[in-house]
Amino acid sequence: MISETANRIFRGVIEDYHNFDQIDHPIENPYPTDKLEHLLYLKCWIDTMQWHMEDVIRNPNITPEEALAWKRRIDKSNQERTDMVEYIDGYFLNKYADIQAHDDARINTESPAWAIDRLSILALKIYHMELETLRESSDENHKKLCKEKLHILQDQQIDLSRSIDELIQDIESGKKKMKVYKQMKMYNDPSLNPVLYASNK
């Protein structure tokens, strides 16, 4: 099942990152570049870096100059995240290119890769919520609330994993067909963002 592979890799990525806990630590992707596992590892590494960038920028003592620099890094990371989702969808499109969809096949509300994107973020939420249930500096009420939230996140992971596996099975059987749209983000494109193209005049 694809979800089992993804969840295992995502947990491993997050643990690998926290062995160093440094945003700029070089990635050491253990999977061959032509494998889906390689893309999944890289996708979650980007998400994990960005998770910690988002923490940094919320520091109430950050200077405006530092905040702007981090905001621009987050924007760049968001574009990389979107690119990775599209690479993963490209993998699935290629893998199922010869599948003949049924005449009444439906299109899912989101592509497999965007569902997997949510699974990666969920793995990060679970990891960090687990830490909160163990944080020695917090009181018992905080830990209790975090345990309740953790159980909800774990249930969500089970449900989302099942839904992803069912979507893949439906694509493989022709019950659903893939149709992928490029995100076409406009704010990073100097030809589409009015502030950017006005500054080039």
Structure tokens at 173: 């059987």
Whole-number pLDDT of residue 188? 67
Tokens 């870096």 locate to 49
Tell me: the pLDDT tens digits for 52-70? Answer: 999 999 999 999 999 999 9
The overall average pLDDT reported for the chain is 93
Tell me: the pLDDT tens digits for 148-185? Answer: 999 999 999 999 999 999 999 999 999 999 888 776 66
Q: In the chain, pLDDT over 90 holds for what percent of residues?
A: 87
Closest CA to 123 of 164, 78, 71: 164
Pairs from 10-15 (Cβ < 8 Å, separation ≥ 24): 10/40, 10/44, 10/119, 10/120, 10/123, 10/124, 11/123, 11/127, 12/41, 13/41, 13/44, 13/45, 13/48, 14/44, 14/48, 14/123, 14/124, 14/127, 15/127
Beta strands in 139-200 (DSSP E): 176-177
Mean pLDDT, residues 84-92 taken together: 95
Mean pLDDT, residues 111-120 taken together: 97
Contact partners, residue 127, CB within 8 Å, separation at least 6: 11, 14, 15, 18
Q: In the chain, pLDDT over 70 holds for what percent of residues?
A: 94
Mean pLDDT, residues 104-130 taken together: 96
Whole-number pLDDT of residue 192? 67
Mean pLDDT, residues 9-17 taken together: 98
Contact partners, residue 77, CB within 8 Å, separation at least 6: 46, 49, 50, 53
Band of residue 7 on the pLDDT scale cut at 50, 70, 90: very high
Whole-number pLDDT of residue 186? 67
Whether the CB-CB separation of 186 and 192 falls below 8 Å is answered with yes
Band of residue 137 on the pLDDT scale cut at 50, 70, 90: very high
Whole-number pLDDT of residue 37? 97
Whole-number pLDDT of residue 180? 80
Band of residue 194 on the pLDDT scale cut at 50, 70, 90: confident
Q: Which domain holds residue 76?
A: 2-199
Query: Which CA distances in Å does 93 have to 76, 86, 178?
Result: 26, 10, 7
Q: Which residues pair with 176 in a beta bridge?
A: 106
Number of folded domains that form the chain: 1
Structure tokens at 21: 């806990």
